[in-house]
Amino acid sequence: MANSQTLTDTQVLEDVQAARRVKIGLISATVRYVLLFSVGLVMLYPLIWLIGASFKTNSEIFAGAGFLPESPTLDGYIKGWQTSTPYTFGRFFWNSFLIILPKVIGTAISCTMAAYAFARFEFPLKKIFFVSVIAILLLPNVVTRIPQYILFRDLGWLDSFLPLWVPSAMAGDAFFVFMLVQFLRSLPRDMEEAARVDGANSLQTLVYIVVPMLAPALISVCLFQFMWTMNDFLGPLIYLSSVDKYPVSLALKLSIDTTEAFEWNRILAMSVLTITPALIVFFAAQRYFIEGISAGGVKG
């Protein structure tokens, strides 16, 4: 280190610089906040407007840009819920639930098994299989959709939930396999080896040791699958033809097609309802979403 004289000099210099930095920092921070607030407002205003507009009367919806309804009404919700079909939106939410639950469970189990195999075992063609995970990740669905449709038709699965469940239950969403493999590779193996020494077989090790450690990543997987399935439109559009099996995404499209031209608030009200589950889940578990994306990168 330098002697005491130069030390004081540098200290004075540092103080001056520090003061300047604070000033610049203050200006820079202000600019940042202003920018972020305005971008945030532009980003979120459409959603705020949507929620407000769903309580407006039809004549008010296009009358002004404000989001507060002048004479709030539940008309849109009550009439929108009834739909123009023999079913209420309750039926469509139930269908969405029936599609999502088995799909999420199947995804979690099959992807965990695949990731366990890749991260903890040696077997023939392992490299090639892992390359196939990346290949599926990059493969556009558009190229396999038509033969899949023909396959499901030949199996007699059209107009059932099976085409939506089964591919995912076979670890078909390669992104999740990839994400879990990355996560599992970063975990220490000591516990598993200890369990092995104590006589646990590989399945017991998986269920009692690996799955608990994998829990944060698994929660991310389930949440993303929930969200994507809730938003999925093309799959149900292709495979489901009877209205009584429609999930909310199809039902919403149906209500645009069948609602009289000026019943805007019904459609907006049902739009709000269909995004509510996703919003609740997101706010309840946003940590897992952000960590999930940061860890592996996600579409969306």
Partner 1 sequence: MRGQRILGLAYLAPYIVGLVVFTAMPFLTSLYLSFTSYDLMSSPKWSGLANYERLFTRDRTFLKSLNVTLLYVFITVPLKLAFALFIAAILNYKLKFINFFRTAFYVPSILGGSIAIAVLWRYIFASEGLANMALGTVGLAPVDWFGDPTNALFTITLLRCWQFGSAMVIFLAALQSIDKSLYEAAAIDGAGKVRTFIFITLPLLTPVIFFNLIMQMVQAFQEFNGPYIITQGGPLKSTYLLPLYIYDEAFKKFNMGYASAIAWVLFVIIMGLTLVAFWSSKKWVYYAGDKRS
Residues in 140-159 that interact with partner 1 by CB under 8 A: 140-151, 153
What are the C-alpha distances in Å from 292 to residues 3, 66, 180, 232, 277? 51, 36, 10, 20, 19
Residue 297 lies near partner 1 (rule: CB under 8 A)? yes
Could you say which residues in the range 229-288 bind partner 1, by CB under 8 A? 230-231, 233-234, 238, 249, 252-253, 256, 264, 267-268, 270-272, 274-275, 278-279, 282-283, 286
When binding is defined by CB under 8 A, the residue of 1, 4, 22, 123 that contacts partner 1 is: 123
How far apart are CB 117 and partner 1 at their closest, in Å? 4
Residue 208 lies near partner 1 (rule: CB under 8 A)? no
When binding is defined by CB under 8 A, the residue of 122, 190, 198, 260 that contacts partner 1 is: 122
How far apart are CB 282 and partner 1 at their closest, in Å? 5
* Cβ-based nearer residue to partner 1, 113 or 213: 113
Size of the site for partner 1 (CB under 8 A): 91
Kindly give the interhelix angle for 126-138 and 89-120, rounded to the nearest 10 degrees.
150
* Cβ-based nearer residue to partner 1, 140 or 199: 140
Query: Which tokens go with 229?
Result: 């399935």
* Cβ-based nearer residue to partner 1, 7 or 256: 256
Could you say which residues in the range 57-86 bind partner 1, by CB under 8 A? 61-62, 64-65
User: Cβ distance 75 to 296 under 8 Å?
Assistant: no
How far apart are CB 156 and partner 1 at their closest, in Å? 14
Residue 118 lies near partner 1 (rule: CB under 8 A)? yes
Residue 204 lies near partner 1 (rule: CB under 8 A)? no
How far apart are CB 86 and partner 1 at their closest, in Å? 21
How far apart are CB 13 and partner 1 at their closest, in Å? 13
How far apart are CB 79 and partner 1 at their closest, in Å? 16
- Report which of 288, 262, 294, 293 is spatially closest to residue 75, judged by C-alpha positions: 262
Residue 172 lies near partner 1 (rule: CB under 8 A)? yes
Q: Tokens 């390669």 sit at which residue?
A: 174
How far apart are CB 146 and partner 1 at their closest, in Å? 5
Residue 187 lies near partner 1 (rule: CB under 8 A)? no
When binding is defined by CB under 8 A, the residue of 20, 23, 126, 185 that contacts partner 1 is: 126
Binding window for partner 1 (CB under 8 A); candidates: 70-78, 79-87, 188-196, 290-298: 290-298
User: Cβ distance 58 to 262 under 8 Å?
Assistant: yes
Residue 13 lies near partner 1 (rule: CB under 8 A)? no
